[in-house]
Amino acid sequence: MDHRKASKKYCEIRKCGIYDNKGFTLVELLVGIAIVAIVGGLIGTFLIFSTRTYGKVTDEADLQEDAQILLSQMDSYIIDTDSALRYYADVSESGSGTEILKDSLYPGGAAGLTRKWLEIYKTTDTGYTKETVLWTKSTEKLTYKQETIDAAGTVTENIEEQDLATHVTDFSIDLTKVTSLRQVTVSVALASGEKSYGADTTVYLRNQIVVNGEPYTPDAAPVISSVLSVKVLPQTVMMRPGGRKAFQAIVYGNNSPSQEVTWSLSGNTSSLTTISADGLLWISMDEKAKTLTVTATSVQDTTKSGTAEVTVVHGKKLSLGQIRKYWLQRGKSMYIYARVNGTLSGSITWESNPLDLLSVNPADSVTVAGGYPSLDLMNARCVKTEYPGTPLGEYTVKISGIVDGQPYEDMVYIEVVDSPEIAGAGDVVYFDKSNGLDYWVHPGDTVNLSTALKRFDIGTKRSYEFKEGGNINKDSYTFETSGTDDEKIKISIDETAEDGEIYVTVKAGNQWHTGYDSVTIHVAEELDFPYIVETTYFPDQENWFWSSVHCRGPVMIADSTLQFTNLTSGINGLIANTGEPHKLTPSEQHTGENERTLSGVNEFTQDGPGRYESSKILNLEGIIIIDKDVELDAPFICCNSDTVIYIKGEHSLKFKGITTFDGLIYAPEGDVYFEGQAGYCRGVVIAKNLHVNSRGDREFSFMEKSSVMDLVNTLKAN
């Protein structure tokens, strides 16, 4: 009974489909097999693709590596050749070949070439070696062999041909620049599977050699070198009157011709514009020519010479110099010089606005005996302020006159300030520039300027001021600043801008202390490239710099003084024209004054004081003659731009205080020391040795001031 009940219950469960079956149906099994097949296929495809990709990448990497190794080998074969290189090509695999300089010069073109080879000749004690690098198109191989040959032409040693590289689909040599530049170009192309790779290298030969000619041997007849050409570098350059530039000559030819040349100059209108035996060109301040030609003539073959063209960039016909803005402490004075580039009709008209700051007495200017065509220093005026009478603010000084029959004018800005803590010319903030005060650009160009700080305790935010000159106006350019606290500024010149100048001043500081620096951007359509001012000269001498010296101006030391051999007579003429020097006495060493001014013509003789002191400020003006070791000692030492200090013999001059120097120091045999906490020199220092020792992290800066360089050239001329 129980059995029947259980069987009946089983049947009912089976009819409802609610029974448990642990196996797979046929359909389920087929679906599972299909899924496994699909996944396996995808994995297999991925593995095959990855393998192929890896193979291609590996092939390409191998080709690149093989090409670089091959080119490196070719470089090592070629670079030391001292006899000859001969390059052959042929359209057959058994012909003797045709000598060519490069593939494209093969008769009929390079397309059908099937064999090329380079023969490399190097001299030995008894003859020469001949190395042959051969490429054959049919085998795509590059092979190498070497033969040692004696003076009689007999092969004494032979290295059999061996493979350099395989899968080389092309190989070529270019010898067209061997004679002129000693350059050989080697090109190779390699292929493997679906990948190909091409590369080339330029080999710079160490020796002048014969190209596609008979190699010479030590035991042969004496080798006679020949000159093919002379090249002068740089070939084109722009310079100003008063500038200098060193030129270099390279003599090209066969068998190492002599590099000795004779330098000459043509096109100059001034006898003071000269070029030295070493190729150093000096352009006089009175040079009127627009173009000069520098010529280097081979001493070995005087029929061969090379030239360089010098474009002389003349300044304005009437100018107040490069610096467009000055800061002047109320109660102080300064000189402003007008430079005439041409023939002046009548006299220069001077104006200052809004208040007359100019001395009406021309005797306040500096006079140089004999005058000078490009710079008459009678065209100078003293800008004087009074404390507290002169109002604070910005003033303009304007000049006008007729030069070469045409009216001209120029203007500078002077800001009268009351704070003695104003620091000019980069003592707080400065333009980080390598070319002095000037940039020369075309209309449409962009000038990117960067500034840097020397002091961070007075604020880091920069501000910029712009002035325009010539035909430039405010619509001629745009600017934008960027970087931390506006440390960078981009100035975009409009394409329609006419010739003129943009004067940019950067300022940083607070109500107690302000610093500034300035640059001049010259916009000129006719310039072919920017003109770079070169003013700093530092030969290897024993000059001591115990500070961070920032050199951006005319500092000339030691060997450069040889270029100023006639400067002494010019200074003596200046002294004679100004009056008998006052010989200082020991009692004048220190008078107890807070502020002292040494003006006129003064001389420190052997019997005079070795020190000149002030409790606070020492002002130097006029001419100072040093005939013993002298120390100038004051917390602040100020030298005006008309100051000329002449140090005789091997004596020294020490500035022991914060010094601002705008004049000329001439010490052809002596030493100059700047030993203050900080300072700047915007003048010219010509000395045998220069020593700078500032304290702490202060810096001493050398800056360019063109008017003083004009004074130097004036004194040279007289």
By three-state DSSP, how is residue 502 classified?
Answer: strand
Same domain (yes/no): 524, 581:
no
Which of 440-449, 578-587, 661-670 ranks highest by mean pLDDT?
578-587
Residue 466 scores a pLDDT above 50: yes
Q: What is the pLDDT of residue 359?
A: 64
CATH number at residue 375: 2.60.40.10
Most confident of 14-23, 235-244, 272-281, 708-717: 272-281
Q: Residue 102's domain spans which residues?
A: 60-211
What pLDDT does 295 receive?
96
DSSP bridge pairs for 274: 282
Q: Has residue 181 been placed in a domain?
A: yes
Which of 502, 457, 428 is CA-nearest to residue 701?
428
How far are the Cα atoms of 10, 16, 231, 310 from residue 21, in angstroms, in the given order?
14, 14, 101, 105
Say what percent of the chain tops pLDDT 90.
Answer: 13
Q: Any idea which residue has 């803005």 for tokens?
A: 325
| Shared-domain flag, residues 169 and 233 | no
Looking at per-residue confidence, does 630 or 312 come out higher? 630
Please tell me which of 48-57, 131-140, 593-602 the model is most confident about, judged by mean pLDDT: 131-140
Chain mean position to CA 154: 55
d(CA 255, CA 209): 6
Instruction: State both tokens at 402.
Output: 């007729």
Answer yes or no: are the C-beta atoms of 618 and 593 closer than 8 Å: no
Top-confidence residue, 207 or 477: 477
**416 pLDDT above the threshold of 70:** yes
Please indicate, yes or no, whether residues 509 and 548 belong to a single structural domain of this protein: no
Give the alpha-carbon dihedral of 641, 412, 474, 509, to 10 degrees: 60
- Beta-bridge partner residues of 503: 467, 520
Where b means 16+ CB within 10 Å and e means fewer, 406-445 reads: eebbbebbbbbbeeeebbbbbbbbbbebebbbbbbbbbeb
Residue 375 contacts residue 395 (beta carbons within 8 Å): no
pLDDT, position 479: 92
The reply to whether 558 and 701 lie within a common domain is: yes
- Residue 528: pLDDT band by 50, 70, 90 thresholds? very low
Task: Please answer whether residues 656 and 633 qualify as being in contact, where contact means their C-beta atoms are separated by less than 8 angstroms.
Answer: yes
Residue 387 within any structural domain of the chain:
yes
Give, as one character, the DSSP assignment of residue 74: H
Residues 653 and 581 in one domain: yes
Condensed to tens digits (0 to 9), the pLDDT of residues 347-365 reads 888 888 887 777 655 443 4
Comparing 73-82, 429-438, 623-632, 673-682, the range with the smallest average pLDDT is: 429-438
**pLDDT at res. 654:** 92
Q: Are residues 494 and 521 in the same domain?
A: yes
Q: Provide the 3-class DSSP secondary structure of residue 7.
A: helix
pTM over 0.85: no
Residues 664 and 556: their CA atoms lie apart, in Å, by 11
pLDDT (0 to 100) of residue 573: 65
Q: Looking at 492, 515, 534, which one is the last position of a domain? A: 534
Write out pLDDT tens, residues 242-270: 667 788 888 888 767 788 899 999 999 98
Of 70 and 563, more confident: 70
pLDDT bin (cut points 50, 70, 90) of residue 124 is confident
Question: CA-CA-CA-CA torsion for 349, 352, 356, 359, nearest 10 degrees?
Answer: -50
Q: Name the phi and psi angles at 690, rounded to 5.
A: -125, 130
Is 21 part of a structural domain of the chain? no
Does the pLDDT of residue 316 top 60, yes or no? Answer: yes
**Structural domain contains residue 1:** no
51 lies in a domain?
Answer: no
Which residue among 312, 346, 376 closes a domain? 312
Amino acid identity, position 524: A
Residues 183 and 206 sit within 8 Å (Cβ to Cβ) = no
CA distance 181 to 179: 6
Residue 694 tokens read as: 């500032």
User: Looking at 318-443, which runs of residues are DSSP E strands?
Assistant: 318-319, 325-329, 333-337, 339-340, 344-353, 380-384, 393-403, 406-417, 422-423, 429-431, 438-441
pLDDT in tens, 164-199: 888 899 999 998 888 767 889 999 998 887 788 888
589 and 626 within one domain: yes
Region 415-430 average pLDDT: 62
3-state DSSP call for residue 159?
strand
Please give the average per-residue pLDDT across 418-425, as a whole number. Answer: 53
Position 16 confidence tier, pLDDT thresholds 50, 70, 90 = very low
Residues 283 and 379 grouped into a single domain: no
One domain for residues 189 and 231: no
Q: Across all residues in the chain, what is the average pLDDT?
A: 75
335 vs 173: which has the higher pLDDT: 173
CA separation for the pair 429, 659 (Å, rounded)? 17
Q: What percent of the chain has pLDDT over 70?
A: 71
CA end-to-end span of the chain, whole Å? 149
Tokens for 113, please give them: 């070439």
The residue whose two tokens read 């004999």 is 370
Both 369 and 303 in one domain: the answer is: no
3-state SS class at 254? strand
Q: What number of CA atoms fall less than 13 Å from residue 109's CA on the CB side?
A: 2
- Do 556 and 666 belong to one domain? yes
Domains held by the chain: number: 5
Contact 646, 603 (CB under 8 A): no
Backbone φ and ψ for 159, nearest 5 degrees, come out as -100, 120
In order, the DSSP letters of 616-676 are SEEEE-SEEEE-S-EEEEEEEEEE-TT-EEEE-TT-EEEEEEEEEE-SEEEEEEEEEEE-S
Residue ending a domain, choose from 295, 312, 329: 312
**Would you say residue 694 lies in a domain?**
yes
Q: Is residue 55 part of a domain?
A: no
Q: pLDDT at residue 697 above 50?
A: no
Distance CA 530, CA 523 (A): 10
Domain identity same for 452 and 361? no
pLDDT at site 372: 28
| 32 Cβ contact partners less than 8 Å away, ≥ 6 residues apart | 24
**Does a structural domain hold residue 457?**
yes
